Structure formats: C-alpha cells, structure tokens
Structure 1
C-alpha cells in the first residue's frame, strides 16, 4: 500500500464516523474527527476514560487554531515558535469542536503536529483530529506500535500502516495553558 492510499483509507474511516489508530509526533494515538460527537464518545469508550477528562486535538497548521479557539494564530506562533519539543496548548474559548472535547471552562487542548502521517491525515480530512494515547486509561502510554494491546487494535476501525516498524521513542508533549487574560502557565514541563 502506498502512503497516499494509507492516508486516504484513514480519512475514509474518519469520514464514516470511525476511529483510527495512528502515529503522532509523540506516541501512537487513538483518533477521530474532532467535530464528530459520536466518534469522540467512542474514543472515550475504547479508552475506558471518564468523559470529564478532556482529550486533545491535532491540527496541521497554526492557522487552524484560530478556527477552533478564541486565540489568534500570531499569539500561538509567539508561544510555540520557541519550543523545539511538541507543545500542546490549552486555549480559552474552544469552538466548532465536539462538546466532549471542551473542558468545564470551555478551553480546548490543541497541538500543531509536525509529524508527516498525522499532519497528512489532518490536511486530507480538513478538520482537527482527536489525539489520545493508544492505551486503556490508567495503563502506560505506548510509544511504539508493537506495544499497543490487541484490545485497542481490535477496537478501532482502521490502523494506519505507516511507521508501524518505527521503534524510536518520543517524549510526551509539553503542555501549557493560555488564560483568558493572556497569561501563560505550564501544566506539564
């Protein structure tokens, strides 16, 4: 299968409301169309995760953040442009996403992915992609494909072929939060 076919298959599953397993710039993730509430609820079910714990989303470009939050892309660039490590930012005023992705205060966690597979899926889908580690809640996050449980693999609708043999490990993303007043705090260094 070619890379393009793999991406097209993943996007077709997402457009049908499906859930996929795919590599990201940090770990392998379980994902779905971040604007589809039914698919988002299914991700919570697969992970056996309390729906009070918000999930993050991936976007391919900084400009996409302005479409789904109340923060301007120039503010985003000023904050994440300095980071060499993948950085998830919790933005105030999440909008246009499944309600299940928003925290109680209306904020949403998003990361601009620099990884080829996840960025390609986001661009082809034209929407943000839910990204949560490919494990049952409470179990260790899986950095490489061969560590993902059969239970997770069997629960999703499509498993991306790309990078299955990649055994390099990445650190989890740094997590920061932009408050409504513009101040920034670090949630995970």
Structure 2
C-alpha cells in the first residue's frame, strides 16, 4: 500500500503536478521544489502571494549542502537532537526554484522523520515543497478531515495514507540559523 502511494506520487511530482500528502506535521501541498511552474501552481491553489517563500523537505541532512551554500556545523546537531519536527531557515539557498527562495536568499528546510515523506523524497532524489493544505489566511489542516474540498479538488493527487488519523498534528518549530551558527526562534 505505502509503496503504491509513493509510486503514484512520484509520477505526479516528475510531471510537475501537485500532491496533497501527510507529513511529520500538518497535511501539506507538495511539488518539485526545483520546478518553478509547479511551485506557481501551489500559490494559485492556496491563493497565496507569489513572493512568499516555502519550506522544503529533505530525507537526510547529507543533502543540505546541495541546496545551501554554507551549512553551519551546529545545524547537524540541531537536526539530530530535535525532539519535534524542526524547520531551519538557512541563508544562501541554491539549486531551487526561485519562487521557493525568500527575497533575502534564505530557505526553510526540514529533514523529515516520516515514512511516507522519507521514502518519497529518497526515490524522487529532489526536495519537495511543504506548505499547509489550506487557502492562504485560513487555519492549517491538523487532520485530513480539516482540509477544504476546494483544496482537495485542485490537486493532482490526494495521497491515500494516514487519512484516518484523528490526532491533530502541529506545525514545525521554525528556527533561523545564520552562517556563523547564531540562531533565533521564529515559531516554537
């Protein structure tokens, strides 16, 4: 079952589509984070400003250097010892769609510890976007049942995994990390 859902999602991602999928936090809208047209589709679905950056997901911290110029050593410790999902905003993003990157050149990256996401990203071999599955300005969907029909109808694939989980999930902690290792919390 999991393998079949990953295969379906891979096909959509490779063709520039948008998936609605479970993550280690809230349900998300995902696409190829290196595909500008796919990212623009998510902005349209959410009714979101095009200049707003995205969080991207990776399956392992070994891939950070592919998307960030300077990864401070402390980043690896923060990721390893985080007890809850942690998104780190890094300076000097690279090799990503320009509409994923913030105006200041930064990007938020989360290393996921979630079976579906890890396997999907590992197989896709590129980062995927993760933005909450809601219309911009509305509350994030804590469970699948909280996702609006408008969102469900707009995506190319709804992943049939963890839809029956009723325990609400929370967004990740967000931390900004400077190249010199200084950090501050944006959201706890």
- Give the TM-score normalised by structure 2: 0.96
> 1:62·1:73 contact (CA, 8 Å) conserved in 2?
no
What is the aligned partner in structure 2 of residue 136 from structure 1?
Answer: 135
> 2:143·2:169 contact (CA, 8 Å) conserved in 1?
no
Gaps of 5+ in 1: none
SS of equivalent residue, structure 1 residue 100: coil
Q: Work out the number of aligned pairs and report it.
A: 188
Residue 67 of structure 2 corresponds to residue 64 of structure 1: no
What is the aligned partner in structure 2 of residue 172 from structure 1?
Answer: 171
Gaps of 5+ in 2: none
SS of equivalent residue, structure 1 residue 154: helix
Structure 1 residue 78: Cα displacement: 1.7
SS of equivalent residue, structure 1 residue 81: helix
> 1:91·1:177 contact (CA, 8 Å) conserved in 2?
yes
- The RMSD of aligned alpha carbons is 1.2
Structure 1 residue 120: Cα displacement: 1.4
> 2:19·2:156 contact (CA, 8 Å) conserved in 1?
yes
Matching of residues 152-167 of structure 1 within 5 Å:
152-167=151-166
Structure 1 residue 163: Cα displacement: 0.6
Structure 1 residue 74: Cα displacement: 4.1
Change (3 A) 1:124 1:50: same
Residue 186 of structure 2 corresponds to residue 187 of structure 1: yes
Structure 1 runs of 4+ with >4 Å offset: none
